[in-house]
Structure formats: structure tokens, C-alpha cells
Amino acid sequence: MSRSRAKTVRAGLHALGVDRVDFRWPGPHGFAIAIDRLTIARGERLLLLGPSGSGKSTFLNLVCGIAVPRAGVIDVLGKNLAAMGTTDRDRFRAEHYGVIFQMFNLLPYASALDNVVLPLSFAPERRKRVVRKRPVREEAARLLAALGIQGSLAIEGMAARLSVGQQQRVAAARALIGAPELVIADEPTSALDKRTQEGFLDLLFGQIEEAGATLIMVSHDDRLAPRFDRALDLCDIATIQRGAEA
């Protein structure tokens, strides 16, 4: 852990605080999740483990403010997401979050550059942060280069034509542009081979550290745990119910 990051983590400021949250997807086959308490410090790298169907995606939807709990508090950077209106939550997510999906997570018809600058269209403050340093597309190109995507063909061509590994790095650049405080990664390495996986995580961690962001990554691969400040099994912090019992 670098000195500056350790200082931030030790400061005790939390990026995310979950308190007695209770959520259930609508419908007859509703899936319900209840989390008593979880706190993640600013600058912390948390690995959240769990097998398929353990509620990882639901947890991410809650943390991102797309799903709203029936009860409880989801405190992100000092704001209670559950108490916000839809528009405010969307705006908050755009300003403070970067999200990396498992795969196929780019707009296939847009270029890598377009994909990277996309979040700034919904986040004026984040955009200002970028523009203060350099033009938006220049910053996007810098991030892409830092993550190993170079050459006009890769940057300007359609994202669908990139390899899976390149797509993941573009997705990482998109999540990191404008230095959001919280980066959420949903099994970003599951489609990558071991060597590409290592390389991708190196690049991702380097950029996250540079941005001073908090990372919450969900995965079913516990071999990744040593690279994180903390690893948690979702089954240990959440109670899951399915179907009628939910």
C-alpha cells in the first residue's frame, strides 16, 4: 500500500456505508437480499467474493443507486442514496462512480474514445475536473494510452472490433475518466486469460491509485484476494432469500 493511499484509508473516512439494508426484486420469483452492516474506507480496495447467484449484481445495483432498498441506509461519500430521488441518484452516479462490467460492456457502435468520454455527458462536475487539466478527448486518449490502447485504429475504430482484453481496458478508462471517487468492477477479469488478467489488474490498480479512488470489485475468484486491501464473502455479510420465501 502506498503512503498516500494508506493515509487516506487510515483516516477513517468511509466511501460506502451500508446499514440494515433490505431489498427485494419485484415479481413472483423475487430475489431478496438483506445486509446488516458494511463499511468501506475511502481509497480502500475491496474484493467481494461469492458464487453465481449469491446476489453480487444486486448488491452492485444497490451500491450504484439503480435499485432502491425497502429499508436501510446506503451512505456513499456522505449521502444517503436511498433517500435521493431518481434524478438525483442518476446524477450522483454519473458524478462519483466509474463502473466496469464483466464483458461486452462498451457501446459496440461507438469508438473507444466515444465510449470513454460517455460518462462526462451526464456529469458536468466530473467533466469540469477533466477540462481543467486538458481537453476531454485528449484526456480520454491519455487514459487509453496509459492502459495500453494506442493507435488511431484502436482509438477511433468501432469498439466492437477490439479484442476482449482491449475492450476491458477501454471500459476501465471509461470508469476512470474524471477521477470518480468510487470505481465498481463487476467481474472484470473473468473473460480474460491469466496473463491478460494480471496485466489488466496492474494497469487498473495503477490508475486507481493515481486517481485516489475506492475500488469495489466483485468476483468468484478468491485467488485475486492478495491484491486487495480486504476480501469479503458476500455470503458472510448478506442474507439471501429466493422465490416465495422472499
- Where along the sequence are the contacts to other proteins (CB under 8 A)? 26, 57, 60-61, 64, 66-67, 86-87, 90-91, 93-95, 97, 99, 101, 104-110, 114, 118-119, 121-123, 158, 174, 186
CB of 7 to other proteins, least distance (A): 30
* For other proteins, the closer CB: 121 or 150: 121
CB of 180 to other proteins, least distance (A): 10
Q: Which residue has the cell 492502459?
A: 147
* For other proteins, the closer CB: 30 or 148: 30
* For other proteins, the closer CB: 95 or 181: 95
CB of 194 to other proteins, least distance (A): 25
**Integer angstrom CA distances of residue 188 from 47, 93, 175, 207:** 12, 19, 12, 15
* For other proteins, the closer CB: 164 or 225: 164
**Dihedral sign for Cα atoms in the order 91, 61, 176, 100:** negative
CB of 99 to other proteins, least distance (A): 4
Spatial neighbors of 135 by CB under 8 A, at least 6 apart, are none
